[in-house]
Structure 1
Amino acid sequence: MRLLFIAWLLSAAAHAGEPPLRFSVSDSWGMPMMQIDDGRATAGILYDLQARLAQKVGRRAEQLVLPRLRVQRLLARGEIDVRCYVHPAWLAEPQRGYVWSVPFMVQQDLIVGRWNAPELRPEHLEGERLGTVLGFRYPRLERLFASGQVQREDARTQQLALEKLDAGRYRYAVSSHLALDWFNRQQPAGQRLKALQQIAADPISCLIRDAADVPTRALLRALVQMKQNGELEAILARYR
């Protein structure tokens, strides 16, 4: 027992001298994925996931709140260790020097309308302004945006995009199912926004920097273990 305790102390001392893991947090994220207060990440699915992931490999999580474009630049320079909440189709180009983890959730992207919106047909979107989030890529809608059939109306965050829809600024918006459910918590029962059409269901993963100063393989194993032992599902359930 004494030898085990000494080994634990030595291990803790070794980890204490290691730098924190740098996780990127986009300032356009909102609940339930991430709560940002005064420029600091404080709660949410990704906050809990990233803190637990760092803990599992004996590091401290440094959750850096950054504009989306700056995240891209820092990734290109290898100055972000882990980027979670990403899918290959959302990237403008492959991310060199990083490896993909197993998916930790599936995100459904939906066309959303107000509580009294009629059934949505494809022709209904033509000529419409569609509520979107600044910097977000929507691969299944790019053709409509490029042709001018549908106009993007960007908001800084998903929450703001849904607030503008609720206020009648436009008739339709794009939202993840989790963000929609979170927004509707605050709405009266008869005035909740509703999903009209699913446009995507993407498995969401983490990108982990593959370098000697990052415990890359340990992080990949930790995510697999968290998925197998139910920790990932428990984090998601906390915010449903």
Structure 2
Amino acid sequence: MHRLVILLTLVLLPSVCGAQQRIEVWTYHVSPPFVLDDAKGLSQAFVELLNNDSANDHRFRFELVKLPRKRLDKRLERKRPGILLWATPSLFTAAQTAHGTWSEPLLTDQQDFVSLPDAPVEYENPASLDNLVLGGVLGHRYEGLEAEIASGAIKRQDAQGDLQNLEKLMSGRISTLLIPRSTLLYYRKERKLRDLYVSNTPLYQFNRRVWIADTLDQSAIGYLDRFLETLPENPEWQILLFRYGLQPIAAAH
């Protein structure tokens, strides 16, 4: 019996030692190109890039978890181990992200004003939108415009998403819309959206980064640090940027 126990231990030991460490990858960005209707998109592709990376060597199994912002905030408050994709430091308090580190920028994004070429809207300041109908996305705040929207100087109409706003613009129901450059680039590639005017001045610019919780195992943190450091030269990452039309906003380290 004793010999049988030893034999079973020797058989099972490799599988126990080789067990993968599960790591949650959080995102609260659920618009294209990050999340698509077919459950794919850049976020899922990024997770697959991590899982298939030769340096990972099957040590870590990354799983995408899509969360509303409030549930994400709870995870940060409770210091749950995980990583956060496409996040902007200024949108989080210092307390929320104090127990982790930010990567270098992956994408340099911005909120663009888009209009029709026969009625172009050039943004200079909030007053340049007076008496225009601005298309926004339900639940989004637009820093620098909220006071004028509240006063009625800027007439805001909301849609469920960016594609609906583009359709409203094409049909002439709104004067201009706000859309992240990342989303605009994706739709331009996938839907051949060429005849649109983009203001030379965006509402604001922001960097999309990865945040890594320091409650992760040190071996996982070390792996992620090396992976992100070499990401700009990673040919698989370059393929993803091309697939989603994002080469113009890829940050070069």
Unaligned 5+ segments in structure 2 are 1-12, 246-253
Cα deviation for residue 103 of structure 1 reads: 1.2
Query: Per-residue displacement from partner, 1:154-173 (whole Å, max 9, x unpaired)?
Result: 43333333333333332111
Matched residue SS, 2:60: coil
Distance 2:51 2:142 in 1: 30
**Aligned 8 A contact 1:110 1:195 in 2:** yes
- Relative distance call for 1:143 and 1:205 in structure 2 (3 A) is farther
Residue in 2 aligned with 1:223?
228
Tell me how far apart the structure 2 counterparts of residues 22 and 167 of structure 1 sit (CA, whole Å): 41
Deviation at 1:187, TM superposition (A): 5.3
Identity %: 26
- The normalised TM-score by structure 1 is 0.75
> Which residue of 1 is the match for residue 27 of structure 2?
25
Residues 80, 163 of structure 1: alpha-carbon distance in 2 compared, 3 angstrom cutoff: farther
CA distance in 2, matches of 1:148, 1:233: 44
Q: Distance in 2 between matches of 1:230 and 1:60?
A: 21
Distance 2:107 2:82 in 1: 20
Amino acid of the structure 2 residue aligned with 1:52: L
1:133-187: CA deviations, max 9, x gaps?
3444443545544665435434333333333333333211111223123334425
Q: 1:152 to 1:188 in 2, by over 3 A?
A: closer
Distance in 2 between residues matched to 1:177 and 1:121, nearest whole Å: 15
Match of 2:88 in 1: 87
Q: Note the aligned Cα RMSD (angstroms).
A: 3.1
- Paired with 2:25 and 2:88, the residues of 1 have a C-alpha distance of 16
Q: Does 1:167 align with 2:164?
A: no
Q: What is the one-letter code of the residue matched to 1:48?
A: A
Q: How do 1:1-240 and structure 2 match up within 5 A? A: 14-18=17-21, 20-26=22-28, 29-37=30-38, 42-56=39-53, 57=56, 58-79=59-80, 81-91=82-92, 94-96=95-97, 97-122=99-124, 123-142=127-146, 144-145=148-149, 149-184=153-188, 185-186=190-191, 192-197=195-200, 198-213=202-217, 215-240=220-245
For residues 114 and 22 of structure 1, the distance between their equivalents in structure 2, rounded to whole angstroms, comes to 41
Instruction: Give the counterpart letter for 1:186 in structure 2.
Output: R
Q: Would the alpha carbon gap of residues 13 and 127 (structure 1) be closer, same or farther in structure 2, given more than 3 Å must change? A: farther
Supply the AA of the counterpart residue of 1:196: S
In the alignment, the residues of structure 2 paired with residue 80 and residue 116 of structure 1 have an alpha-carbon distance, to the nearest angstrom, of: 51
How many pairs were matched up? Answer: 223
> Which is greater in Rg?
2
What secondary structure is seen at the aligned counterpart in 2 of 1:211? coil
Match of 1:16, SS state, is coil
Q: Taking structure 2 as the reference length, what is the TM-score of the superposition?
A: 0.72
1:5 aligned residue: none
